[in-house]
Every structure is written in C-alpha cells, then in structure tokens.
Amino acid sequence: MRSLLFVFALVGCADEKSDSDTGSNSFVASDDTSGDGGVEGLAPLADLSDDDCPKMMESNTGTFSSSGESRTVTVVVPSGEVEPDGPLVYFFHGLLDPSSTPTPTEYMASALQLQSIADETGVTFVLPQSGLFERLGFEFFMWEVETGESNDMVLFDDLRTCAALERDIDLTKVHAMGMSGGALFTTVVARERGDTLATMIEMSGGSDISMLTFDGLLSEYKTPAYAMPALLISGGPTDTWPGGGMDLVDFSGATDNLAEQLYGDGHYVVRCEHDRGHAVPMEAVQASWEWVEAHQFGETSPFIEDGIDALGSWCSVVE
C-alpha cells in the first residue's frame, strides 16, 4: 500500500468531463435505516432529503438531488468485485475558481489518481462539490462554514446514507478529509456530525477564523459529539491565504487553535507542521493515509500505544 502513497503527489491538470450525466438512480430506500451496526454512539443513517442517490456502483462524476438542489459529486469505487464493509473517505476540495476548474471534484480525483488507490485498498471515495460564493466581485467554490446546519451538511448525510445502502460500506470506517477551505468544512463536519466519523484529517484548516465580508466566524469551534482522533497538518509561517503580502487567513495559527480546542475536549490529536506553505507535500499525504488505515469508530487509536514514528518526525502528539 505504501507504493500508492506516491500517486497523491502527482497533482496535475485533469481533463474536464461533461456534466450532462445526471448520475441519479432509481432508488428504493431501505426500511432499516438504523445504520449503527450496534456500535455504541454511532449515529444512525439519516433519511434521504430527496429520496435520491448518485450512481455509486461505478466510478463517475454526476449529479443528484439533495435538499431540493442538484449537487455534483465524484464517486471513486474499487474496480471489479469488492468485499462488503469497506471504508468510506470524504475528500472536501478547497476554494477554487469555476472559470479555471469548473468541476473541482473530477479534477481532484483525476489529479490525485484516486482510482488506483481505491483499486488497491477497497476504499470508496466521495468528493462532493461545494456551492458558489460571490464576494467583492469574485465567484468561487466554497463550503458553507459560517453556520452549522446547512444544505452542505445535508449533502454529507445523504452521501453517507447512499454509501451505506448502495455500497454496504462499514459505517465505523468513515473519515473526513479536506484541504484549505475543504479542511475548514471538515471542522464543521466534525462539530456537527462527530458521531459519524472514525477520524478527521485537515491539511491547512483550523477554527474560529475572522474573514472580511463574512458576518460570523468561519469554522467556529463547538464540542463534537464524539472525541475522534484528529490529524492536523499545516505548512508553517507561510501557510496563508491568499498570500503575496495579503494574508487574510493564517492557517498555521488557526490549526494550532483547533488542536488546543480538540485536545481540551478529550480528543487524541496529532499535530504535524511542514515548511512548504499552503501546499500538500508528500509527507502530509503519507501521514494521512497511515492515519486512515489505523482508525475505526469506537476504538482507541493504536498510535497511543505504538507511538507516531510511522507519521514522521515532523509530527507530535498534542499534550
């Protein structure tokens, strides 16, 4: 599996595909939506908001109806016959310009070569697409990180239910991962849906960020329902946005803030700091995948007993 880690570094331009395929299925909801598998504290499956699911039996980018809206999602599933009870990994993209990246989920799945990883590991990846925001004359993809309950959170719920019913994923192995704006949304997901996650992984995220043109704090921290292990990564003093001398967000500082808050609430937190700025170097990818492989909802992190040498010397346990 370690050989697959290197494909994450191959970030390049993915060919954009047509969004004409709606990706919707003829869906019949199951009568049993408890979904907790008898695991104490694990949230049951949510009812589907629109009785619709994306295509999940094959890798594709399409749309489906969630909260009365058409939402785009890229699903990457293992090729061929797959054992049931596999893990589910959400990957939340960052802030992107729709004029240059009209389908950010498809771009990320292709650039990170997630199909190869799914084939090797049996992981199902879901890459939902955020809505569009307009600020100061600019339009960009961005997650709803000012509030708690939102259509973006319902989208998270819908995809978890769809993956459980259509792909028979193991609900104790659901992980939330994001980069930049997607990492900030991961903070919100952990806060609002902590009882669904085995782990959270953030690359240049954080909490309690003040931002021009936004009324409230972005990714405001509140105690999650479940003290999941958290891997928090940032890129040092130059991990800022947008950069170029105009630093509106200090991701390293925001990540430190989140680490202290999670630790104070009883989470096992590993804090990793590289010196590459607002980027995802190979060591961050390697640490992330080690983290996903090791954790399951309701079980103590094996890193507590075994130590974190596998994550690298640039990481430390928050104490």
| Residue matched to tokens 């978890």 | 160
**Burial of 3 by CB count in 10 Å (0-12 exposed, 13-18 middle, 19+ buried)?**
exposed
Amino acid at site 117 = I
**Per-residue pLDDT band at 121 (split at 50, 70, 90):** confident
pLDDT for the residue 182:
96
- Residues 129-143 as b/e (b if ≥16 CB within 10 A, e otherwise) read bbeebeeeeeebbbb
110 pLDDT higher than 90: no
**CA–CA distance from 142 to each of 14, 27, 173, 180, 290 (Å)?**
20, 29, 26, 10, 28
pLDDT for the residue 80:
83
Architecture of domain 55-317: 3-Layer(aba) Sandwich (3.40)
Q: State both tokens at 15.
A: 């060919």
pLDDT for the residue 276:
94
pLDDT for the residue 7:
34
CB 263, CB 233: distance < 8 Å: no
Instruction: Parse the chain into domains and list their residue ranges.
Output: 55-317
Distance CA 241, CA 260 (A): 22
Which pTM was predicted?
A: 0.87
Out of 25-34, 71-80, 287-296, 299-308, pick the least confident. 25-34
Out of 24-38, 217-231, 301-315, pick the least confident. 24-38
The residues that bridge with 270 in the sheet, in sequence order, are 231, 317
Print the SS3 string covering 208-239.
CECCCCCCCCECCCCCCCCCCCEEEEECHHHC
Q: Which residue has the higher pLDDT, 166 or 248?
A: 166
Q: Which residue has the higher pLDDT, 295 or 2?
A: 295
DSSP code per residue over 181-206: HHHHHHHHHHHHSGGG-SEEEEES--
Q: Quick one: average pLDDT of 230-249?
A: 88
pLDDT for the residue 1:
39
Crossing angle, helix 104-111 and helix 114-121, to 10 degrees?
60
Sequence-distant (6+) residues with CB within 8 A of 102 are 16
Q: How does pLDDT run across 10-42, given as a tens digit for each residue?
A: 333 333 333 333 333 333 333 344 455 678 999
**CA–CA distance from 222 to each of 44, 118, 157, 190, 254 (Å)?**
21, 33, 19, 9, 14
